[in-house]
Amino acid sequence: MPLYYDDDQAMLADSASDFIREEGAIAKQLRHWRDRDCKDGFGHGLWEQFGEMGFTGILLPEEDGGLGMGQVEANIVLEEIGANLTPSPFLSSSVLAATALKHGSNDTRGRWLPDLVAGKNVYAVAIDEGRKHRPETIACKAEKSGNGFKLSGKKDFVVYGASAEMIVVAARTSGSDSDADGITLFAVPQDASGMSHDSVRLVDSSMASHITFDGVELDGDAAIGEVDGGRDILNAVLRAGRVGAAAEGVGVARGAMDMTVDYLKQRKQFGQLIGSFQALQHRAAHLYSEVEIARAVTIKAAQLLDAGSEKADLMASVAKAKVAKAAGLAVKEGVQMHGGIGMTDEYDIGLYMKRDRALQEFLGDMYYHAGRVADLSGY
């Protein structure tokens, strides 16, 4: 498969770009909700529009009301979300939770998917326990109780958790904390008794929850897929989420770089445009190279994922790590090259730096994924 968009994908990219640039613009969404201290951290109106566009069900098969598309297409939407810093539950709901729910029974899918596709419901995914991403270890416990389960433990960094009508929770149903097997994913409804949220605003103005499960009673059919057989589903969720987060990061990098290169063409000092200074030209050109390469490997990883390639897992980590490097460079160079104005809240470049920071951490940072590349490569 060639490493560029086919005609349908190019059309999707055009319409996603136009739509999100217009409706998801920084002033219209990120600043709007932030400045009103919105407890959701995103706009439900835009989420409904995502539903009208079909984006909400982009990864879901047509029989579930989705568009039946793949990771490449989801990434196209995510890159535009990144470039416009659009606060959106798309990654959590339509990529991570949707990937999990695809493995659910007819009943599970019938219960949760229609409202997701309609842009009515938002779903979250609870994986992390503790301050770093360590999905290899899962201590949160779901014990058999009657016909169902009783869930106890703590989850952290549950993005948009407090706004979610349902949370996909990775819990241990057998074995010890660091066993690969013995994991089950559960669809936990918002109103489950015994679940409490501590919702916190993050540096990028998004919201994330610490969730405590205190003997939460779940029906037997809350399990997504086989009991004890959730590791494969969790891995599929992680792969889709990481490649998706990489695409959003490419968008953040692109947005920050475009803004910075524009600034170099406007700002004058010493009587000339600062973009004519070679000291800045070389740094901008290096940045361009890094962002292009990060974009290429992200498309590659998405294609491999869609093709079901055995290399997809490795390349998901390569993409996440490479994008972290490139986007980190883009936002840091962005603020520095803007000079003093880059430090002001009024100017958008700082918002890119904040979003990048949160995205770096989500589903594993550069250090985690570079280490994973070494592990998977056998050294």
Partner 1 sequence: MADLEQFRTEIRGWLEANCPPEMRQPVEDEGDVYWGGRNAKFKNDAQKAWFEACRDKGYTVPMWPKAYGGAGLSPAEAKVLREEMARINARPPLSSFGIWMLGPALLHFGTEGQKQRFLNEIARGEIRWCQGYSEPGSGSDLVSMQTFGEDKGDHWIVNGQKIWTSYADEADWIFCLVRTDKENKYQGITFMLFDMAGDGVSTKPIKLISGNSPFCETFMDDVKVPKSYGEDIPAYVGEINRGWDVAKYLLGHEREMISATGGGDRASSLGAVTSRKGTLDPVLRAEMALFDVDALSFTAMSEKFLDEVKVGKGHPAQPNMLKYAGTELNKRRHELLMAAGGSQALEWESDETENGKPARSWLRTKANSIEGGTSEVMLNVIAKRILELPGA
Q: Where are the alpha helices (DSSP H) in the chain?
A: 7-23, 30-35, 44-53, 71-83, 98-101, 106-117, 230-264, 278-306, 312-338, 349-361, 366-377
What's the distance, Cα to Cα, between the start and end of the chain in Å?
Answer: 30
Does 338 help bind partner 1 (rule: CB under 8 A)?
no
**Choice from 199, 261, 354, 357 touching partner 1 (CB under 8 A):** 261
From 358, 351, 81, 98, select the one nearest 208 (Cα to Cα).
Answer: 358
Amino acid at 118: A
Q: Does 321 bind partner 1 (CB under 8 A)?
A: yes
Least CB distance to partner 1 at residue 361 (A): 17
Kindly tell me which of 242 and 322 has the beta carbon lying closer to partner 1. Answer: 322
- Beta bridge partners, 365, equal none
* Residue 262 exposure: Cα atoms within 13 Å on the Cβ side: 8
Helix (H) or strand (E) segment spanning residue 213: strand 207-218
What's the closest the beta carbon of residue 275 comes to partner 1, in angstroms? 4
Instruction: Report how far apart, in Å, the C-alpha atoms of 376 and of each of 137, 234, 316, 363, 373 are.
Output: 17, 18, 12, 17, 5
Among the residue ranges 53-61, 100-108, 233-241, 264-272, the one whose residues contact partner 1 (CB under 8 A):
264-272
- Is 278 one of the binding residues for partner 1 (CB under 8 A)? yes
Distance CA 263, CA 247 (A): 24
Instruction: Work out how close the CB of 2 gets to partner 1 at its nearest, in angstroms, rounded to a whole number.
Output: 4
**Which positions ≥6 away from 22 have C-beta within 8 Å?**
none
Q: Which residue has the tokens 């409490």?
A: 196
Which residue in the set 101, 294, 331, 363 belongs to the binding site for partner 1 (CB under 8 A)?
294
Among 325, 332, 354, 357, binds partner 1 (CB under 8 A): 325
Binder of partner 1 out of 158, 299, 305, 312 (CB under 8 A):
299
Nearer to partner 1, 139 or 376 (CB): 376
Nearer to partner 1, 15 or 272 (CB): 272
CB of 53 to partner 1, least distance (A): 26
Nearer to partner 1 by Cβ, of 21 and 265: the residue is: 265
| 270 makes contact with partner 1 (CB under 8 A) | no
Q: Which of 45, 282, 341, 343 binds partner 1 (CB under 8 A)?
A: 282
342 token code pair: 């880059």
| Residue from 15, 145, 276, 344 binding partner 1 (CB under 8 A) | 276
Tell how far CA 299 is from the center of its chain.
Answer: 16
Name 196's bridge partners. Answer: 212
Contact flag: residue 178 with partner 1 (CB under 8 A): no
Q: Which residues bind partner 1 (CB under 8 A)?
A: 2-4, 261, 264-265, 272-273, 275-278, 280-282, 284-286, 288-290, 292-294, 296-297, 299-300, 314-315, 318-319, 321-322, 325, 366, 369-371, 373-374, 377-379
